[in-house]
Amino acid sequence: MTKWKTLTTQYLEKNNWIALRKESCITQTGKKIDEYYVMEIQDVSCVIAITKEKEEQNKKEKKVVLVKEYKHGVQHEILQLPCGYIDKGEEPFAAAKRELQEETGYTSKKWTPLGKFAGSPGRLTHYYHFFLAEECEKTSEPKLDELETLSVFEYSWKDAEEQLKKQNTDLVTPLGLALAKKVLEN
């Protein structure tokens, strides 16, 4: 399959956060589209963080680390995986390690890449890169940037799945848990 032919590109907005472009294109079937809008956004690294086994109430259990953060786009607090934008020139894995420590204070020495997926490939240019971090330990306090206010939670796997059904979340978090569960079961 061939790509669409781009006839013109006009940037309507371009800043440190996004670039919004309007293009005139011709599709593979020859249909001309005068106004097709695409938003360029940085890629995102997401971490499915699993703690070291801890003893609680006379049983040993690993926990899933999730964060709850206000997201202005939907104007709600969202329960989600620790995630963040990949800085220019930064590798996805380095961003995953950085975001886990910055948002939660946890670190890990056991990492598994789980793949990358386009979030909304018809209109957005970015990918989500998923990483499983096992045997996580809290080694510092979170180091949030000026726009972040979040809370960190540890849930059993079952409780994490239940909380995601009850609370506002995104599409990324259930996908990340499903990817990690498949790896952890093997």
Segment holding 84, helix H or strand E: strand 83-85
The distance of Cα 94 from the centroid of its chain, to the nearest Å, equals 14
Q: Rounded to two decimals, what is the model's pTM?
A: 0.92
Q: What is the reported pLDDT for 149?
A: 85
Name the token pair of 140. Answer: 């510092």
For the chain, give the percent of residues with pLDDT over 70.
98
Pairing assessment for the beta strands 127-138 and 44-51 based on DSSP bridges: parallel
The share of the chain scoring above pLDDT 90, in percent, equals 87
Mean pLDDT of 89-93: 97
DSSP character for 142? -
DSSP 42-97: --EEEEEEEEPPEEETTEEE--EEEEEEEETTTTEEEEE--EEEPPTT--HHHHHH
144: confidence class by pLDDT, cuts 50, 70, 90:
confident
Please check whether residue 39 is in contact with residue 125, taking contact to mean a CB–CB distance below 8 angstroms. yes
What are the residue ranges of helices labelled H in 48-156? 92-104
What domains can you pick out in the chain, each with its CATH number? 5-40 (no CATH), 44-185 (3.90.79.10)
The continuous run of DSSP H or E covering 177 comes out as helix 172-185
Give yes or no for residue 1 having a pLDDT over 80. Answer: no
Q: What is the dihedral of CA 4, 36, 92, 108, to 10 degrees?
A: -130
Give the pLDDT score at 104. Answer: 97
What's residue 137's pLDDT?
95
**Is 41 in a helix, a strand, or coil?**
coil
The whole-chain average pLDDT of the chain stands at 94
Return the exposure string of 143-157: e unless at least 16 CB atoms fall within 10 Å of the residue's CB, then b.
Answer: eeeeeeebebbbbeb
Q: What is the pLDDT of residue 147?
A: 81
Q: By mean pLDDT, which of 56-60, 170-174, 176-180 is the weakest? A: 56-60
What tens digit of pLDDT does each residue of 4-56 get?
999 999 999 999 889 999 999 999 999 999 999 999 999 999 999 999 987 66
Q: What is the mean pLDDT of residues 166-183?
A: 94
Residue 59 identity = K
What pLDDT, on a 0 to 100 scale, did the predictor assign at position 51?
Answer: 96
**Does 126 have pLDDT greater than 90?**
yes
What integer is the mean pLDDT of 101-122? 96
Give mean pLDDT, residues 125-132.
Answer: 97
> Are 21 and 40 within 8 A, CB to CB?
yes
Q: Which residues contact 143 (CB under 8 A, 6 or more apart)?
A: 101, 102, 105
User: Which residues are part of the catalytic machinery?
Assistant: 146
